[in-house]
Amino acid sequence: MRPSPVLPGVVAVVAVAGTGMGAVVLTSFGLMPLVGEPSASLDGWRAAAPELGVAARESLLVALPATALALLAGLLLAGVVLTPGRGARVVRTLVVVVLAVPHLAGAVSVGLLLGDGGLGARVLAPDGGWPALVGGPLPVATWLELAWKESAFVALVVVASVGPGHRGRSEVAASLGAGPLRRWTRVLVPSALPAAGASGLVVLVYGIGTYEVAWLLGRSYPEPLPVLAFRLFGSIDLGDRPAAAAAAATGSALALGLALCVLVAVPAAARALGPALAGQEVRR
């Protein structure tokens, strides 16, 4: 019997992701120490416990508003791209450009825009009084960077999913007297919901797992789970490794748990997830 052609891919995912996640869990329980003998213990979880709840809340504070903003901006961008005209072509090209920019480069630019001595402060508050948008009490800069980058992803997925029939539906709505806003709310948004749900899920999970954006643009305390895990992981005290692993395991459980909730609550998003990743074609 010939082996299934999906086997190499499935084995690669199970081997790499399974080994990585298994090692994180084992490390958190003291069963895979960097040095010394394995010894089952809850010390890592006890050490991380005071910060896990705060960090999980901070992760949600980063990811949920950023996802909502990315979905809103992405659907609005999709509306522009799907409206015939020269502006749509320019916007479509820029959406592709933003999608390709690495998050770290985006975070640097947003920091230079919203930071204390950034372009925003230079233009709007040269005499002082610029709010703490980078590293402040609310992760405004982190929201903006994630929403900026991910709105491009949402827009391309939505355009690909509704593209073929959208022009006809939109023309029918226009002939019945619907203006641009009503065509967006009554035609585009309803037909884009499965694709928006699928792309929103990807954005949400990314928002929970992102390290570099929150590290560069977020406040130093409380930290989201990836930043907490990374800091403990890099500690000179090797005894912090199990606590780092506990934070990483908590971050993974939070991402997987939220993903499962979305996939169960919105089955259409689950069905759209595969095509959403593949069908990023931009049609007019």
Partner 1 sequence: MTRRLSAGLAPGLALVWLLLPAVPVLLWVGAERWSFPGVLPQEWGVRGWREALDDGLLAGLGRSLALALAVAALATPLGAMAGRALGRRLARRPRLVVSVLLLPLLLPPFAVAMGLDVVVLRLPVPAVVAVVAVLAVLALPYATAAATAGYARCPEALEEQARALGATPRQARRLVVRPAVRPSLVVAFWLAFLVGWSDYVVTLLLGGGRLVTAPVLLGSTAGGTGNEAAVAALALATAVPPVLVLLAVAARPRGLSGGTG
Q: Which of residues 156-185 bind partner 1 (CB under 8 A)?
A: 156, 160, 180
Contacting residues for 74 by C-beta, under 8 A, at least 6 apart: 150, 151, 152, 153, 154, 155, 157, 158, 196, 199
Query: Binding to partner 1 (CB under 8 A): which residues in 101-120?
Result: 101-113, 117-119
Considering only 16, 42, 261, 265, the residue that binds partner 1 (CB under 8 A) is 16
Considering only 140, 193, 259, 266, the residue that binds partner 1 (CB under 8 A) is 259
Query: Measuring CA to CA, how many Å separate 41 from each of 33, 48, 230, 238?
Result: 11, 13, 21, 15
Q: Is 253 exposed, middle or buried (0-12, 13-18, 19+ CB in 10 A)?
A: middle
Q: What are phi and psi of 228, to 5 degrees?
A: -60, -45
Q: Is 238 in the site for partner 1 (CB under 8 A)?
A: no
Rounded distance between C-alpha atoms, residue 212 and residue 235, angstroms: 18
Query: Binding to partner 1 (CB under 8 A): which residues in 208-227?
Result: 208-209, 211-212, 215-216, 226
Considering only 47, 61, 98, 138, the residue that binds partner 1 (CB under 8 A) is 98
Considering only 27, 67, 142, 161, the residue that binds partner 1 (CB under 8 A) is 27
Contacting residues for 280 by C-beta, under 8 A, at least 6 apart: 156, 157, 160
- Return the beta strands (E) in the chain as ranges: none
Considering only 54, 60, 73, 138, the residue that binds partner 1 (CB under 8 A) is 73
Q: Is 97 in the site for partner 1 (CB under 8 A)?
A: yes
Considering only 66, 77, 146, 187, the residue that binds partner 1 (CB under 8 A) is 77
Q: Is 231 in the site for partner 1 (CB under 8 A)?
A: no
Q: Is 188 in the site for partner 1 (CB under 8 A)?
A: no
Least distance CB 137 / partner 1 (angstroms): 21
